[in-house]
């Protein structure tokens, strides 16, 4: 057998989380993915299988802020995600950390979304 590769281990952790977490239209799943260069946030209604809204470090709104995918950028991304959620009529979400540890950029992004009024 052998040691799992880093990405495979993250996928397994994410699947373990997904057994317990599911999003609805009223309370969608806020899933985060972070690569070395970029971060992505989606609000997903798992019942209907739809992405309600999404934002990433590649989106135009984020590029206007001039931030990068570091801690300050994660904070800006969380605020953008909360703003887009409000526009879509979402006030609560279930946080899905995507198999990543709740630390660093992931934590900062979630905290900034909370500060903007999104209940996680």
Alpha-carbon distance 105 to 73, whole Å? 8
Fold observed for domain 23-115: Nucleotidyltransferase; domain 5 (3.30.420)
pLDDT band for 62, please (50, 70, 90 cuts). Answer: very high
In this predicted model, what pLDDT tens digit does every residue of 9-45 receive, in sequence order?
999 999 999 999 998 888 999 999 999 999 999 999 9
Cα 11 to Cα 8, 29, 81, 85, 98: the distances in Å are: 5, 17, 23, 26, 8
Q: Where do runs of H (alpha helix) occur along 23-98?
A: 60-65, 71-87
Alpha-carbon distance 85 to 82, whole Å? 5
Mean of all residue pLDDT scores within the chain:
93
pTM given for the model: 0.90
Domain residue ranges in the chain: 23-115
Alpha-carbon distance 99 to 81, whole Å? 19
Alpha-carbon distance 79 to 55, whole Å? 10
């Amino acid at each position: 057998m052998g040691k799992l590769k880093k990405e495979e281990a993250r996928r397994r952790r994410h699947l373990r989380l997904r057994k317990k977490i599911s999003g609805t239209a009223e309370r969608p799943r806020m899933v985060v993915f972070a690569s070395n260069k970029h971060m992505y946030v989606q609000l997903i209604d798992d019942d209907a299988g739809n992405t309600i809204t999404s934002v990433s470090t590649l989106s135009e709104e984020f590029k206007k802020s001039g931030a990068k995918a570091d801690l300050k950028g994660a904070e800006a991304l969380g605020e953008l995600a909360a703003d887009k959620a409000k526009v879509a009529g979402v006030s609560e979400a279930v946080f899905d950390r995507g198999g990543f540890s709740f630390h660093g950029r992931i934590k900062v992004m979630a905290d900034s979304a909370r500060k903007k009024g999104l209940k996680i």
